[in-house]
Amino acid sequence: MILARITRALKDQNWFAVALEFIIVIAGVVIGFQVTAWNDGRSERVIIAGQLREVREDIRADLIALEETRQASLWRMRAAEYLLLSIENEGELRRIPAVPWGDGLDRSILPVVSEADHSSLLARVNLIRGVTGRSTGYDSLVNSGNIRLIETDALRTTIQRYYAGYEDFESNLSIFRDIRAAAIPILYRHGFSLFSEQDLASVIEAAENDPAFIAYLRTGRELGLGQIGGVLEREAEARALLALVDAELAP
């Protein structure tokens, strides 16, 4: 249709009509490209929003796991302290200057030990809970290349920093478990397994006559304190990232 009009205008030497038709053609091409670009951009934004919603769910799952890890760490520290204070020659707990957060920890968050907890204290010292972290949404962002399209600089850099931090977090967990593994022969020597209930008096008696056992309890307290600090920092990072993702997804 347009080609026929241009041909007729050329035959009639109607140069104004020829120019007008060319302008219409060029304008149509430009508008077509703009509509395509707009649709592509809109599709990308929809995909990125879906990936960020996955990141949000991953962070929420992380926070639940981090809370469980924090509680286990608090119990490990408190159980080790209780056992150490129950031993005759451990009337005063030693400071832990090499571990951060030692002086800044709010001790009111430590659990209260009741008589019902006595039989599980050694098991709580032995329990090392960790967080491997969920990264479904982040992996999707990275693998698709869409992470570079996140326009908010703070969100983009915070996401990358948060997930990079999991390597160190998991490395520390591996170290904690290696230390516990080295102490297993000490427990076996006294007939104790890792997680079964043990009579409090038997545990105290074994520790009183075994310096290596006391050293293990001190180490359990130190590991608990160290992990508490790491988990608290990680929870703060997760909440900060969650707030940025919520703000990005807000209508």
Phi, psi of 90 (to 5 degrees): -120, 50
* 1: its two tokens: 């249709």
For residues 36 and 45, what is the distance between their CA atoms, to the nearest angstrom? 14
Ranges of each domain in the chain? 55-249
Nearest to 125 by CA among 205, 199, 34, 221: 221
According to the model, what pLDDT value does residue 104 have? 62
pLDDT in tens, 73-96: 999 999 999 999 888 665 556 665
Nearest to 220 by CA among 131, 132, 127, 130: 127
pLDDT in tens, 154-202: 999 999 999 988 877 777 788 888 888 989 999 999 999 999 999 999 9
Over residues 65-73, mean pLDDT:
93
pLDDT in tens, 127-145: 988 877 789 999 999 998 8
Lowest mean pLDDT of 42-46, 151-155, 236-240, name the range.
Answer: 42-46
pTM: 0.77
Phi, psi of 113 (to 5 degrees): -85, 125
Nearest to 230 by CA among 11, 123, 70: 70
Lowest mean pLDDT of 103-112, 132-141, 217-226, name the range.
Answer: 103-112
Three-class SS state of 196:
coil
Radius of gyration of the chain (CA): 32
